[in-house]
Amino acid sequence: MATFALVPGAGTDSWYWGPLAWELTGRGHRAVPVDLPCDDDGAGLEDYADAVVEAVKSDAGAGDRQDGDGDGGLVVVAHSFGGFTAPLVCDRMAVRALVLVTAMVPVPGESGGDWFTATGHADALAAQDARDGRDPDDVVALFYHDVPESIANEALRHEREQSATAFSQPWPGQRWPDVPTRFLMCRDDRLFAPSFVRPMLASRLRGVVPEAIPGGHHPMLSHPARMAGALLDTAAVPR
């Protein structure tokens, strides 16, 4: 059994991980969807990482354990802006693997805002919008175009305010942790399209090749079973 700590992106909560958590627990693993203090202007990235640690430790049955139980150990799964939090967890807990899901990959001293500039995201998004014919103001078409309408509507109700504090803070990590890392790239993601992800990842995590999975920016909502299968393919996690 492995423990999957599920770290959300900006302005979202643990609800987004529900369908995926159901798939993982149904296959005999432990899933810990995390709520970050994203709407707290006093919380920085270190606090986000502490929230992940506390969620894993306080999850039912965790007791005083400091990491995941069972042969699978702890796998930290990070979505989108969660890529700024997940590596910091490795300084606080024994982590067997990191899985980045259409995530931002920071370098030391870089803020979330800096990341968008440094990676050339604005031009990449404009090009993708042109290909898709998407109105730049249509957020639903950007994030939830492949999510069933009822689930997309519920997701919108679960959106939270994202404080600028953590987003403007330079990433405090000194280097990428020495932990096996995978990157799950979503084939139909309109925010971080594959054509953007490949060069971004190649310049920041050499040797990590993105693995394509179905879905847009929220594959945990549109393809939870397929995403669970991809997570369980992590070399560090026995099936």
Q: What pLDDT score was predicted for residue 12?
A: 95
* Rg for the chain, CA atoms, rounded: 17
CATH class of 2-232: alpha beta
Q: What pLDDT score was predicted for residue 132?
A: 94
d(CA 81, CA 45): 11
Instruction: Please report, as a single letter, which amino acid is at residue 172.
Output: P
d(CA 57, CA 131): 45
Burial label for 107, CB within 10 Å (0-12, 13-18, 19+), is middle
Indicate the DSSP class of residue 39: T
CA 2, 5, 6, 9 torsion-angle sign? negative
Angle at 45 between CA 161 and CA 16, to 5 degrees: 45
d(CA 51, CA 154): 24
> Block means of pLDDT (10 residues each) for the chain, length 239 residues?
95 96 96 97 98 89 46 90 98 95 98 97 97 94 96 95 96 96 97 98 96 97 96 63
Q: What's the predicted TM-score (pTM) here?
A: 0.93
Q: Where are the domains of the chain?
A: 2-232
Q: Which two tokens stand for residue 16?
A: 């987004």
| Strands, sheet with 211-213, edge to edge from the N-terminal-most edge strand | 30-33, 2-7, 73-79, 97-101, 181-186, 211-213
d(CA 146, CA 73): 32
Q: Tokens 């790239």 map to which residue?
A: 185
Q: Going by C-beta distance under 8 Å and a sequence separation of 6 or more, which residues neighbour residue 118?
A: 110
CA 141, 145, 151, 155 torsion-angle sign? negative
